[in-house]
Amino acid sequence: MSKRRDPNPEFDLFIPALGDLPLKDQREVMERPFFSLQKRKRLKPIEYQSPDGEAWVRVQAIAEYGMATIWDADILIWAASTLNRMKQEGVNDLPRTLTTTPYDLLRAIKRSTGGRDYQELQAALLRLQTTSITTSIRATKRRQKAGFNWLDSWTFDTDAETEQPRGMTLTLSDWVYDGIVNEKSLLTMHPDYFLLSGGLERALYRIARKHAGLQRGGWVCRVEVLHDKTGSDAQPKEFNRMLRRVVEADQLPEYGMKLTETADKSPAVQFRLRGEAEALVFAEKMREAEASRERFAAERRHANEVDARMDRLAKQR
């Protein structure tokens, strides 16, 4: 990890070595729909309201760039992880503006570093800057809602002669920054999250990480609630088909999934820590093996008893 102090604390150069940062993200953002799950341009707003009506989110995009995607959010995860590490190292005045290089940022979020990747990085920064969010999350008696963009500003520097990307800065909005610097609002994510290729898979992992956590027995969620929490714009029938495909593939980091039902027979998905699920499968196999051994032993005893009776009858004759 390399770090250069600058007289201006807002422009500290903090370049984490690849694989050096524990991934962190905001709990509030992980459990609710803030991002488009598709790479094609989405203009349809996201409208979400929690079942109790207390939390709501509205996300809007402009036609020129479209809505920030769940892949664009990787940049915010990098920012949260970076600031969290700086806080652990004793930096008191955490900067809202982070300076790095496009190459290091792309590597940190497990992306390629070709020419097209740098173009896509710039497009992601534009979407993060222009996507507009209004929400009641963090509402107080005096402040009923907040409006913000993910980024206030960003810069992308290129070499004048080679036109190759050299450095970049990104400035987090106050809402994002406040959520990151509040240590209790962050959750650790599995590093393989960046390798998930599907938008729905990514959303399901984030939801599972927030709600299932490390609890024994996992967490069960109705399919209709998952539809709302992911912010998917697919019709229910199509969403159910996509969800079933993800469950059958069962490739989320940390969590196994299976289709189930709630007490009122509503279709649902159970998320359970893979270690616990594997232990339960192993225990079930052990029970089956023990039952098989007991059946075999009982059959053997019965056969021995029959043989003994036959021997006694033969001797009596």
Q: What is the pLDDT of residues 146-163, one digit of tens each?
A: 899 999 999 998 887 877
Confidence label for 7 from pLDDT (cuts 50, 70 and 90): very low
Distance CA 246, CA 269 (A): 11
pLDDT above 70 for 208: yes
Confidence label for 274 from pLDDT (cuts 50, 70 and 90): confident
Question: What's the mean per-residue pLDDT of the chain?
Answer: 86
SS3 category, 52:
coil
Q: Mean pLDDT, to the nearest integer, of 7-30?
A: 64
pLDDT of residue 214: 82
Provide the H-helix boundaries in the chain.
27-30, 73-88, 102-108, 115-130, 174-181, 199-211, 223-230, 236-249, 274-316
The HSE-up count of residue 227 (CA atoms within 13 Å, CB side) is 16
pLDDT above 80 for 29: yes
Pairwise pLDDT comparison (182 vs 111), residue with the higher score = 111
pLDDT above 60 for 13: no
pLDDT of residue 278: 62
Beta-carbon contacts of 101 under 8 Å, excluding residues fewer than 6 positions away, are 15, 165, 166, 167, 168
pLDDT above 80 for 315: no
Among 197, 192, 62, smallest CA distance to 127 is for 62
pLDDT above 60 for 68: yes
- 215: number of Cβ within 10 Å: 12
In whole angstroms, what separates CA 70 from the centre of its chain?
A: 9
Find the length of the chain: 317
DSSP for 129-171, written as a single string? HH-EEEE-TT--SS---EEE-SEEEEEEEE-TTT--EEEEEEE
Q: Domains, the chain, ranges and CATH?
A: 2-195 (no CATH), 198-317 (1.10.10.10)
Confidence label for 293 from pLDDT (cuts 50, 70 and 90): low
DSSP 67: P
Read off the pTM: 0.81
pLDDT above 60 for 6: no
Q: Mean pLDDT, to the nearest integer, of 270-280?
A: 77
- 66: number of Cβ within 10 Å: 20
pLDDT of residue 160: 78
Beta-carbon contacts of 89 under 8 Å, excluding residues fewer than 6 positions away, are none
